[in-house]
Amino acid sequence: MTSNFDIQKLQSVLKDFYTAVGIRISIFDDEFNPVIEYPESLPAFCRNIRQSAAGLNACKDCDRAACLRAQKRGEAHIYTCHAGLTEAITPIQLDGGVIGYAILAHMMPVENYQNAAVNACRLSEKYGVEEQVSRKAIKEITPRTMKQIHAAARVLDALAAYVQIRDYAHFKDGNLARDIEVFVSRNLGGNLSSEIICNKFHCSRSGLYALSKRAFGCGIMQYVNARRIELAKKLLKDGKSISEVASACGFEDYSYFCRVFRRAEGCSPGQFLSAVGDNN
């Protein structure tokens, strides 16, 4: 996990939110794991589904998919979960990156309620829940008008901004920097564009650059190239040809590799090889 939350303060905020809105709310971290929920207990309809491994996994997959959509959209949106309930999610953003997600769950729309309830009960059957059990359980979920649901989603957006402003969540720079360092080390021969790294660690270019400056003292691509040149020198000393080294260090363009090497070392790869040979 690369994000960290002040659980005690969040619990107070979520309790206030529930008191005002009356809808269960969950906070997930940037790796799609639940951090805190209020109220803690699930409604019976969802508990019944999660009693089976298939139902539990389907819920986790549904939450993950919702988080990924929110990450891509950058704003709140409303959707129907795998079990037919209405939910809303918004990303919690910090320093240009997504640090977590806030989810309003387990809602039923007043509009077309009967059809929605029948559909939800039917969907629950594939997880081994009898229809009559689901019919009883779903009655415990208070129906909301779509106007109320959209209003709640907008308030959810405001809550996400509040969490950021009050510093209730922050990135664990040390952990994230180490994760990036390991990822770069393992992929020096592959594509390490800033876009690839941003997608891997769910952050914006500006957020990645800021972290790289704090952790490595330079921009991310400068850091990547520095690591590649260190590897290149080792491979050259081991007797690899310049073209082999360029490819092994992720440089598709031989000439570009030579320019980057010269800029870093003050000499060409060939001159470096000659100097190594003279010293031996």
- How many residues does the structure list for the chain? 280
Express as a percent the part of the chain with pLDDT over 70: 96
Task: Compute the average pLDDT of residues 143-163.
Answer: 95
Helix (H, G, I), strand (E, B) or coil at 144: strand
Is it the case that residue 1 has pLDDT exceeding 60? Answer: no
Task: Compute the average pLDDT of residues 139-151.
Answer: 96
pLDDT at position 95 is: 64
CB burial of residue 81 (10 Å; 0-12, 13-18, 19+): buried
Task: Name the residue with higher pLDDT: 63 or 170.
Answer: 63
- The mean pLDDT value of the chain amounts to 91
Q: One-letter amino acid identity for 258?
A: C
Judging by DSSP bridges, how do beta strands 97-109 and 143-144 pair with one another? parallel
Is it the case that residue 101 has pLDDT exceeding 60? Answer: yes
The gap from C-alpha 69 to its chain's centroid, in whole angstroms, comes to 10
Q: How confident is the model at residue 199 (pLDDT cuts 50, 70, 90)?
A: confident
pLDDT at position 279 is: 62
Question: In angstroms, rounded to a whole number, what is the distance separating the alpha carbons of residues 128 and 131?
Answer: 9
List C-alpha distances in Å: 166 to 6, 30, 64, 99, 112: 10, 18, 26, 14, 39
pLDDT at position 278 is: 63
Look-up of token digits 């720079």: 173
pLDDT at position 74 is: 84
Which tokens go with 26?
Answer: 């969950």
Domains of the chain and any CATH numbers: 3-170 (3.30.450.20), 173-279 (1.10.10.60)
Q: How confident is the model at residue 2 (pLDDT cuts 50, 70, 90)?
A: low
Task: Compute the average pLDDT of residues 15-26.
Answer: 95
Is it the case that residue 96 has pLDDT exceeding 80? Answer: no
Largest CA distance in the chain: 85
List C-alpha distances in Å: 45 to 115, 137, 190: 16, 5, 47
Is it the case that residue 179 has pLDDT exceeding 90? Answer: no
Q: How confident is the model at residue 90 (pLDDT cuts 50, 70, 90)?
A: very high
pLDDT at position 99 is: 85
Q: How confident is the model at residue 127 (pLDDT cuts 50, 70, 90)?
A: very high
Question: In angstroms, rounded to a whole number, what is the distance separating the alpha carbons of residues 269 and 231?
Answer: 12
List C-alpha distances in Å: 249 to 135, 178, 193, 265: 60, 20, 13, 16
Is it the case that residue 128 has pLDDT exceeding 80? Answer: yes
Region of residue 51 (left: phi > 0; alpha: psi -120 to 50; beta: else): alpha
Task: Name the residue with higher pLDDT: 13 or 96.
Answer: 13
Is it the case that residue 188 has pLDDT exceeding 50? Answer: yes
pLDDT at position 88 is: 98
Task: Compute the average pLDDT of residues 83-91.
Answer: 97
